[in-house]
Each structure stands twice: as structure tokens, then as C-alpha cells.
Amino acid sequence: MNLPRDHSNIISSQRFESFLPSQRSECFLSAEARILECFYQRIWRRRVISWKNTMIKMAFTPYQLFLAGLMLITGSINTLSTKWADRQTSHFCDGSGANVTFEHPFLQGVGMFLGEFLCLLVFKFIWYSTARYRIERMIYKGDAASSVVRFWPINIKKDTRLVDGEQTFNPFIFWVASICDMLSTCLSYIALNYTSASSFQMLRGSVMVFTAILSVLFLRKNLTWKHWLGIFAVVIGLTIVGVSDVIFSKQPEGNHTNAEKLAGDALILIAMLFTSFQVVYEERFIGKYNIPPLQAVGWEGIFGFSTLGLLLIPFYFIIVPTSNSGPDHRLEDVLSAFCQMRDNWIIILATFGNVLSIAFFNFAGVSVTKELSSTTRMVLDSGRTLIIWIVSLALQWQAFYSLQVLGFIILVIGMGIYNGVWEHLFRLCVSRPPISSERSQLLPSHDDVTVYESNSNRPLVVWSEAERQYIGDKLVSLEPLNNEHIKYLQDLEINGSLDFWTEIIAAAKPIDVRIKQSEFDQYASEFKQRSLPFRVLVDDVQAVIDDEKQKIDAESLKRQFKSRFFGQSKADIVGTYVSYNEILAFLEEKAQADSQHIAVVDIGRTYENRAIKGISIKFNPAATRNIWIDCGIHAREWITPAACIWMVDKLIDEYNKNDATVTSLLNYWNVYIAPSLNPDGYEYSRTTSRLWRKSRARGTTGSCFGVDLNRNYPRKWMTGGASSSPCSDTYAGPSAGSEPETKGVINFLQSKIGTWDMYMSFHSYGQWWFTPYGYDTSLPANYNSQYAKAQIGVNAIRSVNSARTYDIGSVAQLLYIASGSTVDWAYDDLKIPFANTIELPPKSASPGFVLPPSEAPGVCHETYVGMKAFLAAIKQELQSSMSG
């Protein structure tokens, strides 16, 4: 058997369906003929994956599914109970004996707000009943923790999810939401006096469109084409249901003029707009202040109950031309309503159901808004129409029209498209069956098998199946209370098997770590023995990665579809997660489009002999000053290459469109951008191990791979905050500047030494804006100036997304000692006056490095806006110093 020795032609990533790993294994052979021998030594090491773990996870967590179901069921009960009450007749209480229906929408609205107010009482009850557990947790997490506290037994197991959240917000922010709710209810009622019920049914679908648009405008949501298609299908389905009433109903729906119908339809649309604004407003503030949904609903209930309750007094004296409330035509006759309730016990029962169900419905709805989004809430809410229709048919409250079936089928299809249900079911149907469990008991888990050429670093062949190597792994937040805990965690970082997602900072500062499923019980026991508080943030890391991969695959398929069927010569990769080859193709495309001003530059080669490339943008031939931006030095931080690609695209595009700020910047500077300083690691994280951080250099031990390139730079190398262990994620390499990736960057920047004004390196995650230094707690000479410019950048980011909170300062003072970093080398050795590192969103460990692809464009855009403001401020200072 003759297998090629050339690395570019070797058999790579050969997949075997039953070979499912989680750790790496190598065989070093002197002859290619032993490749199969080595493989068969490992082939028996198979691991069984249960059927539920091989299928792609559904879009919702079990808790979110519960909330969605609760919202649909209680919302349907609420509508049906209202409809039940409206169908009841009783004597009008004026002595005339007239029999009238119970139509008191404003009083029913007050009852609904009363139901919401009950949520606040429930919240307070849970709040006080769980006080002990929350105080305990605060002691272990807060600044009051001491060396004595750690001996106090921890008991924070009680579920406090319903009351967890911030309590430092102004409750009056919910007055706006309650007013919107009231206005929507009142306008809908008034509209029904001017137009038909079928018009209301057809137009209520507009609430989803309005909510989607407002979410994009005010929440900076990125709705994909699938979301818009799903919304469109739901709206069409609701419209068909309404049209069927118009076509087939034998009962006329009122005698309204065209002008009245037009006015009524307009009022319905305005009412839906208020509803949309309400749910988007709720999402904005509940998310911003992390307010418990139960509490939020309660405050809305208080404001709505008090406001609408007071309005019932003037409503009693307002006479309207058309009303079914009674012969006296009052806008709302509360006295008559209570009299009718006394006369008909069914009205009391229906009203009680209405009050109780609205409490559950709005709690579930606001929870869905907080857990998912306001648009998802409105799409799910449309499903109530189907439930109400089925129950109404069963109770013979309405006639059956076959066209309605088509409408509801389209509605359900639309809901499935929006929530990704059909795509998940399709993947489930085509996914591979579970492997027999007989042999799985025999083996440890393995990631892949790599065969190396004798006395060479080149792999001959790799067998790999690492797509699901994080099944059952937990993402855990640790809360060290004292120096003993800090020392323990530092030892684990160097010698343990934990994957630290955030750095060890200080006591009372949370640390996010990933723990393997097989080791979780062991570490949990150790944490408890040491009285080290911890909580699980993500129960199955693989589920998060699966969801990310599914979305990336869908985006990739969409790009290919556009390229093939819509004549796009190049796939648009801006704002997405793509392969390194696609990044290189993008750079070449930009250079070919304007070769006079844009060029691809060679920076160096990687350990695996990939080319490290960047792009130079030189629009002003007279410009002599340069700035540098790099991304992707850590492999798993996928959002950073996407941010660099975004900047390349927007800088060129906006310069060509004569944007004043960009034109000024690019006429002053030549710009160099390197989207990935670690192509080997980046590709490995894409194909084999999603959470890989380092490069792919083979260690001296033969069993551990990679160097943390951001610890390998020669400035103060290995003086703190780095590891000498090749197996550590912060391994600084065998010597300062030892890695080919590091040498390439050093040589490139040193070739233009003295011309650099700014160095920026993007990382993730945490929302930090760092200045030098990392190797000790001293500050650079121009720290105040660097801080001020960073603050300008952060303010610009917040102008786009006010939810972003970046901390600014030196690496060592804000976080930890970290020697051998790019930023310290750039500032000290190259004398670049503005040398910064930015840790991009998210802020928290969930999703951490696995930022959903849908959020990438928003993060890239706001970062680009911040960088423009930051660079403009630097330019202004440099020009001022030159003129001075």
C-alpha cells in the first residue's frame, strides 16, 4: 500500500460512523504500512451515544417549552372565558326587565390587570419564603465573604428561579407597558364598533410584523430570512381564517359604511402597534435590568388596575351611540355589570377564569420574552387561534368552514418555520441511528487517531470524529471566596483537566469553567469539601455547540444557494462564521476589486504551513503612518475573525461612498488588518475540537499540542500569568517568540517600526477594553490618554447598543498578570502609542465562546462603530500634538 507522504495530499479527517471520541491519541510509525495496524489498535475503542444525544437538540429548552405551552393554554382559556362571559345574557338592572348580553370590556380589562397584580403578591410570597437561601447565597458570593464563612454549611439548593434577578430598578418603567396594554384593549374595542370581527381576525397578524420590525429597529435583533418567512406564513394563515368568515358566513357582520370600516381597520392596526411596542419595551427593560417576569407582570398589573380602574368613573358618564351594554348606552356601566353578575353565576365563573388565566398567561408571555424574544412570543401567541377555534367548534359557538383548515395549516407551518421545528425534525429523520451499546462499556473516550511520519512533525493520516465530544460537559460558574480558593483554582488551571473560559481574577469574582461529564461529580465533591460555591450555567455544552453548528450550516447552505441560483459570483461572508479558506478568498476578492489601493499581504506561515495573510488598505499615496488590527489569535473566539472581516468590508465600502469619518481616517493612515493570527487552531476548532484555544504545534512531550500565542511574545515572557506546561491552555511555548506564527507577526511589524500609531487585538469574551500592561500592575506613560480614547470608543458602542457595558483599564489591574502578550510587546518594543486589546461580547459564560451566529452581525457592527470613534479621537490628538 503506497500512501502519500506529502502533507497536502494525506488522507485527512476520514470519518468512521461509530468512532466517536473526546480525547486525542497518536501513533508514531516508521512506515506507512503500519497505519492500518495503528488504526485497528484503536478501532475497538468506540463509545456509544444514546439516540437522544445523536439527534440535533430542539430549539427550546424544556423550561422554554413549558413556558410556551403554558402561554398557549392559559391564553386560550383567557380568550374562551371572555367569550363565554360575552355570550351570557341577564336582566338589565334598570327595572325594565330587558335581557342583554354581558359586554363590559373595560371592566374585564380591570379584572385582567387584577390578575396580573396577583402575580406581584405571589412574587412577594416566594421572595420572603426563600429569603434564607438568597441571603446564604449572597454571603457566599458577595464581598462579605470571609475565611470564617467557608465553614458554614452551604444550603442554596432551593429553586429561586421565579424571584432571581435585579431589584434596583424603578417600577414605574412598567407604567408605560400597562398604558400600551390599556390603549390596545380600548382601541380594539372601539374598532369593533366600526368594523367586522373578521377584519380584526385578519389584521391581528400585523402584530407579528410590527413586533419584528420594532425588534430590529430598537433591540438590534437580526431576524433571518427563515424568521421573516415564518412570520409571513403565520400572517397569511390568520388572514385566510378571517377571510373564510367573510366568504362563508351567512350572518351579516354589522351595517358599516366604507368610511367606518376604514376607520375601524386603522384603529385595529394602531392597537396592534401598541401591543408590539409593549412587548418590545418589556424585552428591552426586563433584559436590561434582569427583572423576574413574575415581578414585572405584577407591576404592570398594579399600574393598569389603578389607571383603568379610575377611568371607569368617567366612562360611566360617557354616552356612546352604539353599545350592547344596555339601553342607556354608557361607555362602561360598572353598576349594570355587577348586577348582571349577580343575576347569572356563569358570568362570575367566567370572570374568575379570566382573572386567573391572565395571570398565568402574562407571566408565561413575559418569561418567553425574556428567555427568547418578543417576536417569538407573538408568533407563539398566534397559535392560540387554533386552540380557540377547535374548542369553539366543539362547543358549537361557531360554524365550520373548510377554508379555515387551510389557514390553520399554513399558520402551524409558519410557526414551525420561525422556530426551526421543521429543520430539526428533518435532521432527526436523517441522523444516523444509535450505535450498539455492547462494546461501549469496554473503552475510554478518544478524540481521534493521528499517525505521524517517523522523525517528523507531519501527520500522515488523521481519523477524526469530534463533532460531539462535549456531550454532557457542564459549564460551571465558580465563586472563590478567599485566597485559599484562588490558589486551589490556580493549581487546577495548571495541573487539572478543567477548561477555564475566564481567567482567575480575585476573590468574589466569578470564574467560568467547563467540566467533563465524567469528572463533574468528582469536582463537585471537591468544591463542596472546600466550601467553594458553584452553579451550573449550561447543563450540556454539546447541545449549545450543536445548535451553533446547525445555524452555521444553514447560513453556509444559504450562501451557496445564493451563489448558485442568484448569480452571485462570490458568497457574502460578512458577519458570519466561515472557514479560513473562505477568509483568504474574501481578502483576494477585495484586492482584485481595487488592486490600486488594496493588497493581500503575507505575514508568515503557521506550524502546519498555512499562510498567515492580512490586507493592506492604502487610499492615500502620501500617507506614511500605519495602524494594525488583528483577530483570531485564540482559535475558539470565532466572533473575532468575523469582526475583522466586517471592518475590512465596511472601511472599503464607506470610503467609496464618501463617508466623512472613514474618508478622513483612511486618508490619514494606511490600515493593515489580519483576520486570523492562528489559522491552524482556528481550523482545528472548526473541524475537530470547537473549544480549542492554542496553536497546533506539537509539544515536546508528544501528547500535548499547541502554544498560547498570546503568551509567546518576547516582552516579559514567562514572568507571570503563563504556564510552562505544554498541556496547559496558557502554555507560553519553549522560548520567547518561538512559534512561527509569532515570528511572522514580529517580523512584519518590525519591518515598519516607527510608523505605527495604533495596535488593536480583538479577543472574546467579556466586554473589556484593555490597555497595557499585562506583565505587572504599572501603567503606561500615556495611560490617561489611552483610557480617554477607549472611553470614546465604548460610548460609541453604547450609542448603538445601550446594553453593552465595557470595563476599561490595564490587563493586570482589571484582571490578572499575563506576560508575553501582543499588546505589551507592541507598546514597549515597537513604541506604538495606542496599543489595546478588546474582549468582545458576550458578557457572560452563556453563550461564552459559542456566540450564536445570529448575534454576530450586531456585535460586528457595534464594534466597528466603536473603532471608528476610537480612531477618530486618536487622529485628532496626533494632529493636535503635531500642530502644537
Contact between residue 763 and residue 633 where contact means Cβ atoms under 8 Å apart:
yes
Closest CA to 871 of 809, 797, 815, 793: 793
Are the CB atoms for 465 and 446 separated by under 8 Å?
Answer: no
Distance of CA 300 to the CA centre of its chain: 27
701 pLDDT higher than 90: no
Cα 573 to chain centroid distance, Å, stands at: 20
Break the chain down into helix, strand, coil percent, rounded to 5. 55, 10, 35
Q: 852 versus 55: which is more confidently predicted?
A: 852
- Res 522 pLDDT > 80: yes
Compare 852 and 871 and report the one with higher pLDDT. Answer: 871
Mind telling me the catalytic residues? 839
DSSP assigned state of 441: G
CA neighbours closer than 13 Å in the CB half-sphere of residue 506? 9
Q: Which residues share a beta bridge with 599?
A: 616
The pLDDT, as a whole number, for residue 824 is: 93
Q: 369 burial class (0-12, 13-18, 19+ CB within 10 angstroms)? A: buried
Q: Mean pLDDT across the stretch 281-304? A: 82
Q: Where residue 281 falls among pLDDT bands split at 50, 70, 90?
A: confident
Q: What is the pLDDT of residue 226?
A: 80
CATH 3.30.70.120 given to domain 583-689+711-719+738-883: no
Lowest mean pLDDT among 166-170, 401-405, 464-468, 867-871: 464-468
Burial class (CB in 10 A: 0-12, 13-18, 19+), 750: exposed
Task: Decide which of 418 and 74 is more confident.
Answer: 74
Segment 161-214, tens digit of pLDDT: 555 555 567 888 888 888 888 888 778 777 766 665 556 666 777 888 888 888
Residue 54 has what pLDDT?
A: 34
Average pLDDT, integer, range 775-796? 93
Domain spans in the chain, listed from the N-terminal domain onward: 7-51+433-464, 67-133+170-420, 474-539, 583-689+711-719+738-883
| Structure confidence by residue, pLDDT tens digits, 579-614 | 999 999 999 999 999 999 999 999 999 999 999 999
pLDDT at 551: 78
What pLDDT is attached to residue 197?
A: 58
Q: What is the pLDDT of residue 254?
A: 52
Q: Write the CB contacts of 810 (distance below 8 Å, at least 6 apart in sequence).
A: 770, 771, 772, 773, 774, 777, 779, 780, 783
DSSP 8-state symbol, 12: E
Quick check: bond before 842 cis, omega within 30? yes
**How many other CB atoms are found less than 10 A from the CB of residue 522?**
12
From CA 504, how far away is CA 493, in angstroms rounded? 9
Quote the percentage of the chain above a pLDDT of 70. 74
**607-645 per-position pLDDT tens digit:** 999 999 999 999 999 999 999 999 999 999 999 999 999
Per-residue model confidence (pLDDT) at position 395:
79
Q: How high is the pLDDT of residue 638? A: 95
Residue with cell 433591540: 219
Alpha-carbon span 204 to 238, nearest angstrom? 8
pLDDT of residue 5: 32
Question: If you count DSSP H runs as helices and E runs as strands, how many of each does the chain have, helices first?
Answer: 29, 18
Taking only the tens place, the pLDDT of each residue in 426-461 is 655 544 433 333 333 323 333 444 444 334 343 333
Give the per-residue pLDDT at 154. Answer: 40
Instruction: Dump pLDDT digits (tens) for 721-732.
Output: 788 888 888 889
**Mean pLDDT on 855-865:** 95
Q: At what angle do helices 206-218 and 258-289 cross, to 10 degrees?
A: 40
Work out the mean pLDDT of the chain and round it to a whole number: 77
What pLDDT shows up at residue 436? 33
Beta-bridge partners for 515: 474
Comparing 375 with 14, the larger pLDDT belongs to 375
Q: What is the pLDDT of residue 96?
A: 59
**pLDDT attached to residue 36:** 42
Q: Which of 30, 787, 39, 3 is nearest to 454 (CA)?
A: 30
Q: Is the per-residue pLDDT at 239 higher than 60?
A: yes
pLDDT digit string, tens, across residues 534-566: 988 888 888 888 888 877 777 776 666 665 555
Q: What are phi and psi of 598, to 5 degrees?
A: -125, 140
pLDDT at 849 over 60: yes
Q: 118-158: per-residue pLDDT in tens?
A: 888 888 888 777 665 555 544 444 433 333 333 333 444 44
Q: What value does the mean pLDDT take over residues 3-10?
A: 33
What CATH number matches the domain at 474-539, 3.30.70.340, 3.60.15.10, 3.40.50.620, 3.40.190.10? 3.30.70.340
Angle at CA 468, nearest 5°, toward 370 and 707? 95
As a whole-number percent, the residues of the chain with pLDDT over 90 amount to 26
511-515, strands of its sheet edge to edge = 499-500, 511-515, 474-478, 534-538
Distance CA 155, CA 139 (A): 11
Query: Is residue 33 scored above 70 in pLDDT?
Result: no
Secondary structure (3-state) at 392: helix
Overall size of the chain counted in residues = 884
d(CA 722, CA 770) in angstroms, rounded, equals 18
Partner residues linked to 598 by β-bridges: 617
Residue 298 has pLDDT above 90, yes or no: no
